[in-house]
Amino acid sequence: MTDKMEPEEAKISIKVFVDKVKKRVLYTEADHTFLDILFSFMTLPMGTIVRLLEKHDDTKFEALPSFNNLYQSLKDLPDLYFATEQCKSMLLNPQSVSYDHCRKLHLMVDDDTEPVEYLVCENCCPTGSLFSIFDKAMCLKCGKMMNELSYCSFFDEPDYIRSYDRSRKLKLIVDDTEPVEYYVCEFCLPRGSLLSIFDKAKCLKCGEMMNKYDLCDPLSSPPICIPNHKACVDGGVFVSVIATFMVTDDLSVTPYTATGCIQLLTDLGITDTSNLEELKIDIGCTQMLHLLKLSLSLDSPLTHLVFGQNCSFQDTSKMALSNLDPLSVFNDHGEMKKDISFSSKIVVELFLLKSSGKLLFAEAKKDFVDFLFGFLSISLATVTGTLMKGASGVSCMDNIFNSISNMSVGSYLKSQHIKDMLLETRFGQHYVSKNQLFGLEGTPFYRRNFKLKDPRIDEEYLKHSGMFIVTDDLVVTPSSSYSTIDALIKLKVQLDDIERHEISIGLEEGFKILKASLRSRSTLTAFFEHQLK
């Protein structure tokens, strides 16, 4: 009996140009396969990034330490503190609206997020029902458990399709006919398109080939209408397949030109080209996850990826915690500043040492914890782009954001929709707590006479009662005698050396906490030291 062969891990190849004397990467020459995956980092929710990096066993570099603690605190917090069981589940496994695009990548970094499943109440479905994307959801009309949505139950199918669906439930399926697939014209759909159930059908309006479309997905958005589609219809996901790009060590991306290449080498101080060497590197999902981790903690992730333990190049990555000015509280016509004084406030009590001013911990109501847990549901693009305008302090991610911002549509990015999606990845309305201070708005989900059942209660993740202890590095625990005394014992402090301060947190303060949490283990100290001066 032969052993079953394990499938080989998919890999892509890139050309890396290095300074072989200094052992550092100068730039990478890459096509759409690498760029698509690199740009997909921006679509990942912060909670998904934490979950993916948990699987990475390299502890030499620490990425998002405060986010790691926040995620683990969410995991450890008993279900009884949440408004519903689904609130905890959705924050631990946040879904991006870009998920379907990312499934087309040559390497899918987020390979453990399950595709969305839709549940409805079979009892109430004929009269119009809420639907849910969370397991164990209960119908608000009749109180029964919702069940997974049957194939195409949102549509009035012909009898032959209905009978086929029923036959799929038989214990022995004699009929091995493939399930019905639907095809529409991507370019005519926004104006109304004919529907076909046959492969290779052509649109009668424009003559283009119809493409597969999941009509049974209640949350699916129509395929994108690309104005100059003949120039853009190719195999890439986000970028054109015909372009080649230069990616620097700190992940700045520009289209390749000879002029740009020479200028880059000059800017890097390269005078002796005999020190240059071209390497061909094969990269799989493991290496891309490693690159994601390095890019969140260093300014030279490609050098450390390529040379590993042999890397002699010193990374100077350091977040200036003293410079927490939230550039995204805008203006200079990025708007928003006028709203600062009108934003809601969250009150937090701080406990500090009188002798040194050192922050011990904060005690807060569930509105502050709701606000912090909301960090996990927003995407990297939302953090670095929408909120921080490419100045988050995580330089590699800022560089990716700014590179996408400067890249032209058509020649390099496949459409304006793609560009907008990468720069401001949307998320569902149910991910937004009313205690979120940033003014972000989620996307409501509707389909015909169905709408998404909101897992929140009163637009919050947590129940109304309860106090919480939040440590400097964002470990969150329910407040109790045990947790308070345990914290004091660990910190080895004298009770008469403790003083209490009450702080109000609004939009501007919320930005600073988020920015500090990206690179610091002392998130609250980095922010509150400035507040208490």
Distance (Å, whole) CA 73 – CA 79:
12
Question: Whole-angstrom Cα distance, residue 375 to residue 67?
Answer: 8
Mean pLDDT (the chain, rounded): 77
* Token pair 């119809």 in the structure block, residue: 210
Our CA angle for 303, 308, 312, nearest 5°, is 65
Q: What angle do CA 512, 517, 519 make, to 5 degrees?
A: 115
H/E element holding 405? helix 395-406
Q: Comparing 76 with 482, which gets the higher pLDDT?
A: 76
- Which of the two residues, 529 and 400, has the higher pLDDT score? 400
Looking at per-residue pLDDT, the higher value among 520 and 246 belongs to 246
- Three-state DSSP at 433 gives coil
Residue closest to 512 by CA, chosen among 489, 532, 486, 531 = 531
Res 157: pLDDT:
43
pLDDT of res. 395: 94
The residue that leads in pLDDT, 242 or 123, is 242
d(CA 470, CA 503): 14
Predicted local confidence at residue 357, as pLDDT: 83
What confidence tens digit (pLDDT) does each residue in 104-122 have? 676 766 665 655 565 666 5
Residue 353 above 50 pLDDT?
Answer: yes
Q: What are phi and psi of 321, to 5 degrees?
A: -65, -20
Computed on alpha carbons and rounded to an integer, the radius of gyration of the chain in Å comes to 26
Selection from 516, 523, 533 nearest residue 361 by Cα = 523
- Residue 241's pLDDT band (boundaries 50, 70, 90)? confident
Percent of the chain with pLDDT over 70: 63
**How does pLDDT run across 27-75, given as a tens digit for each residue?**
999 999 999 999 999 988 999 899 989 877 666 778 899 999 999 999 9
In the predicted model, is pLDDT for residue 162 greater than 80?
Answer: no
What pLDDT is recorded for position 405? 96
Kindly report which listed range (138-142, 350-354, 487-491, 505-509) carries the lowest average pLDDT score. Answer: 138-142
**Domain boundaries defined on the chain:** 12-114+239-310+319-532
Res. 143: pLDDT tops 50: yes
Nearest C-alpha neighbor of 419 from the set 429, 411, 408, 427: 408
Pick the range with the lowest mean pLDDT from 255-259, 481-485, 510-514: 481-485
Q: Are strands 245-248 and 253-255 parallel, antiparallel or unpaired?
A: antiparallel
Read off the pLDDT of residues 494-525 as tens digits, 9 standing for 90 and up: 899 999 999 999 998 899 999 999 988 888 88
Question: Which residue, 464, 330, 332, is CA-closest to 387?
Answer: 330
Tokens of 254: 């520009």
Q: Point out the least confidently predicted range of 156-160, 290-294, 498-502.
A: 156-160
Which range has the worst mean pLDDT, 226-240, 246-260, 388-402?
A: 226-240
Please say whether the beta carbons of 346 and 368 come within 8 A: yes
| pLDDT tens for each residue of 222-240 | 433 333 333 334 567 889 8
Rounded to whole angstroms, how far apart are CA atoms 422 and 43?
6
pLDDT at 270 over 50: yes
Residue 57 three-state SS: coil
Query: What is the DSSP code (8-state) at residue 178?
Result: P
Structure tokens at 464: 């109304």
Two structure tokens written together for 259: 């002029």
Question: Are 82 and 463 contacting, i.e. CB atoms less than 8 angstroms apart?
Answer: yes
Q: Where does the pLDDT of residue 85 fall: very low under 50, low under 70, confident under 90, or very high at 90 and above?
A: confident
pTM score, whole prediction: 0.77
pLDDT above 90 for 265: yes
Confidence of residue 320 (pLDDT cuts 50, 70, 90): very low
- Is residue 361 within 8 A of residue 368, CB to CB? The reply is no
